[in-house]
Amino acid sequence: MIYNSIIETIGNTPMIRLNKLAKHIKGDVLVKVEYFNPGNSMKDRMAVKMVEDAEKAGLLKPGGTIIEGTSGNTGMGLALAAVAKGYKCIFTMADKQSKEKIDILKAVGAEVIVCPTNVSPEDPRSYYSVAKKLNADIPNSFYPNQYDNLSNTAAHYETTGPEIWNDTEGKITHYAAGVGTGGSMCGTAMYLKEQNPNVVTVGIDTYGSVFKKYKETGVFDEKEVYPYLTEGIGEDILPKNVNFDMIDHFVKVTDKDSAVMTRRLAKEEGLFVGWSCGS
Residue 112 belongs to domain with CATH number: 3.40.50.1100
Task: Write out the residue range of the structural domain in which residue 134 sits.
Answer: 44-142
Summarize pLDDT for 182-231 with one digit per residue, the tens. Answer: 999 999 999 999 999 999 999 999 999 999 999 999 999 999 999 899 98
Q: Tell me: pLDDT of 145 over 90.
A: yes
Q: Is 206 helix (H, G, I), strand (E, B) or coil?
A: strand
Summarize pLDDT for 15-68 with one digit per residue, the tens. Answer: 999 999 999 999 999 999 999 999 999 999 999 999 999 999 999 999 999 999
What is the average pLDDT across 257-263? 98
Q: What per-residue confidence (pLDDT) applies to 91?
A: 96
Are both 133 and 58 inside the same structural domain?
A: yes
Are both 92 and 185 inside the same structural domain?
A: no
Q: Tell me: pLDDT of 133 over 90.
A: yes
Are both 73 and 158 inside the same structural domain?
A: no
Q: Tell me: pLDDT of 117 over 90.
A: no
Are both 213 and 259 inside the same structural domain?
A: yes
Asked if the structure places residue 217 within a domain, the reply is yes
Asked if the structure places residue 204 within a domain, the reply is yes
The letter for the amino acid at 203 is: G
Are both 73 and 114 inside the same structural domain?
A: yes
Rounded to whole angstroms, the Cα distance separating 255 from 179 reads 15
Are both 108 and 164 inside the same structural domain?
A: no
Q: Where are the alpha helices (DSSP H) in the chain?
A: 43-56, 73-85, 99-107, 127-137, 151-155, 161-167, 183-195, 211-217, 255-269, 275-278
* Positions marked catalytic: 43
Q: Structural domain tally of the chain?
A: 2
Are both 103 and 160 inside the same structural domain?
A: no
Maximum pairwise Cα distance, the chain: 57
Asked if the structure places residue 162 within a domain, the reply is yes
What is the average pLDDT across 93-104? 88
pTM (two decimals)? 0.93
Are both 55 and 164 inside the same structural domain?
A: no
